[in-house]
Structure 1
Amino acid sequence: MIPYLRNLNHALLAAILLACLPSSLAQYLRQSDLPQDPAEKATVLGHWLVAPHADFQGLRTVNPFLTDEDLKYTKSGSECDDRSKGDVCADVPSWFSGLGIFNLTAEDGIRFLGVMDGGPANACKEPRGTPDHISHKDYVVPAFAPVVSKFRVDQTHGVLLEHHCFLKGSDGEPLNGLPNTDNDDSPFTGGDCEVQLNRSVNGLDTEEVQKIPGTNLCLAGDEYSPSMVIFNCEFGTKECGTVLTRYIPEGLELPGASYNVRSILPGAFLHRRKGRGFESAAVSPDGKTAILLLQSPLGDDDKWSPFATSHVIHAVKMDITDPGNAIVAAHYLYVVENFLNWFDKRKPQDTKISSATWASQFAGTDHDVLVVIERRPNQIKFFLADFTVASDIKENSLTGDLAFDKLGLHDKSLKKLRELGVEPARKALFLDTGDVEKDPFIENWDSSDKMEGVAVLNSCVVAMADDNDFGLGREGQPGITVVQLSECMDAVFNRMNT
């Protein structure tokens, strides 16, 4: 039985799932032992929860500078057992706001990367008379610094934490998860927005992480600003977590930040929706290119806004040959799945891009091909997306006017884009969870709809990780789910281009 599973039924299922994996897998999950062919039906090969080591003390371990005062609004130990849905359990950090690969081919087990976001936070009731465009958020641990971690899957005991470090400035001091500008929530603390906080130029809400091959650096996508963050991820050194450069949109400045800031991203990205920045960042196998996608369309998503029905997502391609002096290489558009093709059809604006990872090496092509996760309530869809065929709109005058962002619903957007001579990324669906609560399409599915990270293990197998929001909603430990596909990625790419 795998410990740390949420209940006995989950544990029994996990034991069954382990039997689905090859018997040669003695302990650690290795790429060389994964199936190389498609399954008859997409099937979960394993689902493992994080199994902290014996002396792990939750947020105190990953942020050792936190004091009792810093943690006074959290619960721990037996207090977590009967906590309410709005309580944060300091024992169950949110390891997987993003999922990456640190080492895919190691014979002693695949090494995964995880990144925490800006820390536990709750919405709170707005005071009477608060304008519609202003919202308040309660930051439960304002001093929290985002954390990057390295894991290995032990098929008997769960996801094992090997290394971690918190993000810090060039001065070695911890960063934080507070918003940078008034484009985001007004920060408070105190349990129910009782004490107002200052915004911080050192605030990061990291939602994706990727290793930059051939370097000791990682790249993160950040929701605030939004930004691309380059930082040291040489675990076991004092430099681990040090931010080298943060790239933000043109027209924005972060004076006084404790790291290098470069304002070079497309200025249109300043119009991203509140709390909807870069949740997706992919890095090419040669370490020279990154593509980052916004989580949602640009513009206000108010019911009567001309942007409310938009299905168009903006993406930026970065030349990161020199990670400290990256260059904007291209600006693309990506059109999300028609909201009518989901189980939940209530609001177009509920579709989110949750993660992306590079997949050209698994699709048998030298094109810029990514796996992209789209999510709506209770359902997740996985797409292969080819950005090489997409139009570069970097110099297009319509970009600054947000003309691409008020074209209407899915079919109308595609029609108008092509009338304007703009091709979005070409895409093809290859995995659909179905309704994870009522009718999952994947055999042996036993996970949530909060998948916020994806990694490709080979052409026929993907891994994904869920975000537990620091125990909010009485969530337990997050985990990694590995799925064998019914159609391998090289076949999907060929289908997409015929």
Structure 2
Amino acid sequence: MRALAVAVLLLATPAAASPQIVVLEPSTPLTLGSVTFESGRQVAFSIGIGSAAFRGRHDPPDVAWTVSDRGPNIACTQALAITGVPRERICAAANNGRIYPVPAYAPTIYGLRLDPERGVFHVFDAIALKTADGRPIDGLLNPLTVATTETPLDARGRVLAQNASAVDAEGIVRLADGTFWIGEENAPSILHVAADGRILMRIVPAGTGADFAGAGYPVFEGLPALLARRFTNRGIESMAISPDERFLYTMLQNPLANPDARAYQQAKNTRLLKIERATLRVVGQYVYQLDDPQSFRKDPSNRQSDPRISELTALGTDRLLVLERTDGTTKLYEVDLRAGATDILASRWDDAATRPTLEQSNDLVGAGITPLGKRLVFDSADHPQAPTKLEGVAVLPDGALFLINDDDFGITGERTVGLIVRGLDIRTTD
């Protein structure tokens, strides 16, 4: 086990010290098992528990909750490198295929107990997501007709059935009553989940409910219809809740493909939604502008679609931490919805006929829109001990943050690592 690591470096101003970071590893291996592909290559998978993180004010001080996504999955473009089988063979059954080597895996909520003195975290609970009658679901893609989707394939390239109840869980909060709200990437959607993992309700974009017929739990069309224009695999990866539990917040991982994929590839403007929990009404919508991809110092690129949003964490009502990342670099920004940003809810920017679309608009000032202001509070490029793909953030009682990475179930050899970060310039309110 890697030894406990604490880094204390100097900031640009000599009088200030950088954040203190403690690295946590799992106290027991997070092992899912191995699969042998037709090439003879055997790949050992881990359990990827770090797609999101949360700690509520009612939780014990050393406890955080995380969630896994849909399970091990391999893009056909990665097939040869990971499985040893050429794409032309393993993905022959579907041009838009994605390989699911462990198709029965159920997206799962995990309870963690943090032990910084020993440099570990302990998994004390695992709650699989289930239908209303208690059957575990899987992550094998919904049979979408409004939004784009992919075809699931097994480890031998055979087509798997899509599943109306399937969930790609990517964001999490836990309420005082023990229930959870989860952000979901594929539909995209948000879900209310009972303490035992049963899905109580799934909220999807207007006009898409028929795609979830037979899901095994209630489905409600409560999100803006335009969200179905998310680019494939770039839906909702975030979920936050105000301290009084009155409001939920979520953000699109990337700008919409609105009106087309070219707009998604070039756009910086993505949408943050504020939802009144009692009524499930969207009561606010704000524009968040993604950074220039060259500014992500561990893996700069020229592709504007590389930066994405993977987490929101509430610091107070309408004050949020936003996790903006690429595959190699993670930044945390503080935003305040009350600090002059334009609420574009129910405006022409929600009309599919508007041209140019919000996503195509480079001059927001000329369009009468003030985007959310951003204040950088953490950049993983400053901390070599930080793993790639940090996706989960939880606020601890002393104002420290718990960060955790998504290791993609170990398909490329990565493993889950947690960080406790102290000394950041943030404050919680309410």
Q: TM > 0.5 between the two?
A: yes
Which residue identity is paired with 2:104?
A
In structure 1, the partner of 2:204 is 248
176, 181, 184: which one aligns with 1:219: 181
Which residue identity is paired with 2:151?
S
Alpha-carbon distance between aligned partners in 2 of 1:306 and 1:58, rounded to the nearest angstrom: 40
In structure 2, the partner of 1:73 is 35
In structure 2, the partner of 1:111 is 63
The Cα shift of 1:379 comes to 1.7
In structure 1, the partner of 2:336 is 386
1:316-368 deviation per Cα after TM superposition (whole angstroms, max 9, x unaligned): 111113xxx522222222111233433303211100111110012xxxxxx50
In structure 1, the partner of 2:223 is 265
Alpha-carbon distance between aligned partners in 2 of 1:387 and 1:395, rounded to the nearest angstrom: 17
Contact persistence 2:231–2:264 (CA under 8 A): no
- 1:397 equivalent to 2:348? Answer yes
Alpha-carbon distance between aligned partners in 1 of 2:418 and 2:189, rounded to the nearest angstrom: 26
Which residue identity is paired with 1:196?
V
In structure 1, the partner of 2:82 is none
Contact persistence 2:403–2:418 (CA under 8 A): yes
The Cα shift of 1:105 comes to 6.3
Contact persistence 1:331–1:393 (CA under 8 A): yes
- 1:201 equivalent to 2:164? Answer yes
In structure 2, the partner of 1:425 is 372
In structure 1, the partner of 2:247 is 289
Q: What is the aligned length?
A: 398
1:455-491 deviation per Cα after TM superposition (whole angstroms, max 9, x unaligned): 1225752221011111211223x1210112353347x
The Cα shift of 1:429 comes to 1.1
Contact persistence 2:21–2:422 (CA under 8 A): yes
Matching of residues 336-375 of structure 1 within 5 Å: 336-343=290-297, 344-360=300-316, 367-375=317-325
Alpha-carbon distance between aligned partners in 2 of 1:487 and 1:246, rounded to the nearest angstrom: 36
RMSD between aligned residues: 2.9
Give ranges in structure 2 of 5+ residues lacking alignment: 9-14, 78-86
Contact persistence 1:320–1:326 (CA under 8 A): yes
TM-score after normalising by structure 1: 0.74
Which residue identity is paired with 2:421?
V
Alpha-carbon distance between aligned partners in 1 of 2:30 and 2:376, rounded to the nearest angstrom: 41
The Cα shift of 1:73 comes to 2.8
Alpha-carbon distance between aligned partners in 1 of 2:250 and 2:424, rounded to the nearest angstrom: 27
1:219-251 deviation per Cα after TM superposition (whole angstroms, max 9, x unaligned): 110001100011012xxxxxx001111000001
Matching of residues 78-477 of structure 1 within 5 Å: 87-89=43-45, 92-102=46-56, 106=60, 109-124=61-76, 127=88, 135-154=96-115, 155-156=117-118, 158-180=120-142, 181=144, 183-191=148-156, 194-212=157-175, 214-233=176-195, 240-253=196-209, 254-299=212-257, 305-321=262-278, 326-343=280-297, 344-360=300-316, 367-388=317-338, 389-401=340-352, 403-407=357-361, 413=362, 416-434=363-381, 441-442=382-383, 445-457=384-396, 460-476=399-415
Higher fraction of helix: 1
Contact persistence 1:136–1:188 (CA under 8 A): yes
Give ranges in structure 1 of 5+ residues lacking alignment: 6-10, 21-38, 60-70, 76-82, 234-239, 361-366, 408-412, 435-440, 494-498
| Equivalent position SS for 1:417 | coil
Contact persistence 2:326–2:389 (CA under 8 A): no
Which residue identity is paired with 1:392?
D
The Cα shift of 1:41 comes to 3.1
- Cα 1:353/1:57, change in 2 over 3 Å: closer
The Cα shift of 1:306 comes to 3.7
- Cα 1:421/1:245, change in 2 over 3 Å: same
Which residue identity is paired with 1:288?
R
| Equivalent position SS for 1:280 | coil
Alpha-carbon distance between aligned partners in 1 of 2:396 and 2:30, rounded to the nearest angstrom: 31
